[in-house]
Amino acid sequence: MTAIGFIGLGVMGGPMAANLVKAGFEVTGFNRSPEKVQRLVDAGGRGAASAADAAEGADVVVTMLPDSPDVEAVLLGDGGVLDGLAPGTVLVDMSTIRPDVARSLAAAGAARGVGVLDAPVSGGEQGAIDATLSIMVGGEASTFEAARPVLDAVGRTIVHVGPPGAGQTVKAANQLIVAGTLQLVAEALVFLDAHGVDRSRAVEVLAGGLAGSAVLDRKAAAMLGRNFRPGFRVDLHHKDLGIVTAAAREAGVAIPAGSLAATLMGALRAQGHGDLDHGALLLQVEQLSGRSPEE
């Protein structure tokens, strides 16, 4: 039974760690919020008092943290996890961070004999619960194969996309597409409402045509029901779009629609909606259109 240290038991990490327990792995988890550690214990895992304790003796260490500075602090800071890992350990960072940081982590791991993968995910909270996540993996092919059983326990579509940093680059592209599509779904819903069309029926037929997408399938019903309980928070998508725009600038690539999507997401956050699901882009389109949900 492979021992796994899991660091970061939030909206995504908590159910992912629980699915690893269900798959038969020995999982020791850490989170700064003790109640989230307790949920893992209740699911059959073990709790740890620190990130280093969670990683101690693990064959595979998984991190699922909010942003690049969090990952760097946990892995490379004073008393960082990476220094305590034995050669041959596999480190799988499933956070969404900057591609350049992912490459730096891989280099730091290689210097210590630790294989490092950047393996961000897509699929939201429900995908994490159902173990159906899409996982885009960067790193050495041999490290990917070694970690494959762990990835199989939390995801359905798992693809090795290239060298270190490639997983994060693909995730950035994913977040670009999702943000742009969500914005257009929000605009379409307000447009349909303004013309008095039954939006539920409209979404049904749109989903069966070329306009159909996973975003429409998974988000439209909640947007119509004005249910903005976070599956993926505006704050996090705003952060991710910052990664996209910075990486595009670095590569000299124009992303005009993506830049607009990033601006709109940032404006939504500035309006105080950072804790809502990113489907709350609907609220902003309504506001820009001078419409209220009662109209």
pLDDT tens digits along 130-146: 999 999 999 999 999 99
The average pLDDT across 97-122 equals 97
Tell me what the pLDDT averaged over the chain comes to: 96
Structure tokens at 119: 């393996």
What's residue 203's pLDDT?
Answer: 98
For the domain with range 3-163, which CATH number is right: 3.40.50.720, 3.40.50.410, 3.10.580.10, 3.40.47.10? Answer: 3.40.50.720
- State the first-to-last Cα distance of the chain, in angstroms, to the nearest integer: 58
- The gap from C-alpha 183 to its chain's centroid, in whole angstroms, comes to 19
Q: Which of 106, 176, 173, 175 has the alpha carbon at shortest distance from 138?
A: 106
Q: Which are the contacts of 67, defined by CB distance < 8 A and separation ≥ 6? A: 95, 97, 239
Q: Name the region of 198 (left: φ>0; alpha: ψ -120 to 50; beta: rest).
A: beta
CATH code given to domain 169-288: 1.10.1040.10
CA dist 22 and 19 (Å) reads 5
CA dist 41 and 15 (Å) reads 12
Domain with CATH 1.10.1040.10 in the chain: 169-288
Which amino acid, 177? Answer: I
- Residue 120 contacts residue 94 (beta carbons within 8 Å): yes
- Residue 154 contacts residue 16 (beta carbons within 8 Å): yes
CA dist 185 and 204 (Å) reads 13
**Tokens 């592209």, residue located:** 173
Instruction: Give the C-alpha distances (Å, rounded to integers) separating 154 from 51, 72, 147, 217, 265.
Output: 21, 24, 12, 21, 29
What's residue 294's pLDDT?
Answer: 55
| Catalytic status, residue 171 | yes
Domain with CATH 3.40.50.720 in the chain: 3-163
The average pLDDT across 76-90 equals 94
CA dist 290 and 295 (Å) reads 10
- Residue 7 contacts residue 55 (beta carbons within 8 Å): yes
| Tens-place pLDDT, residues 237-271 | 999 999 999 999 999 999 999 999 999 999 999 99
The average pLDDT across 178-187 equals 98
Provide the pairing of β-strand 155-162 with 133-138: parallel
Q: Which are the contacts of 127, defined by CB distance < 8 A and separation ≥ 6? A: 121, 133, 134
What's residue 258's pLDDT?
Answer: 97
Query: DSSP code of 273?
Result: I
Confidence of residue 124 (pLDDT cuts 50, 70, 90): confident
Residue in 36, 171, 219, 239 annotated catalytic? 171
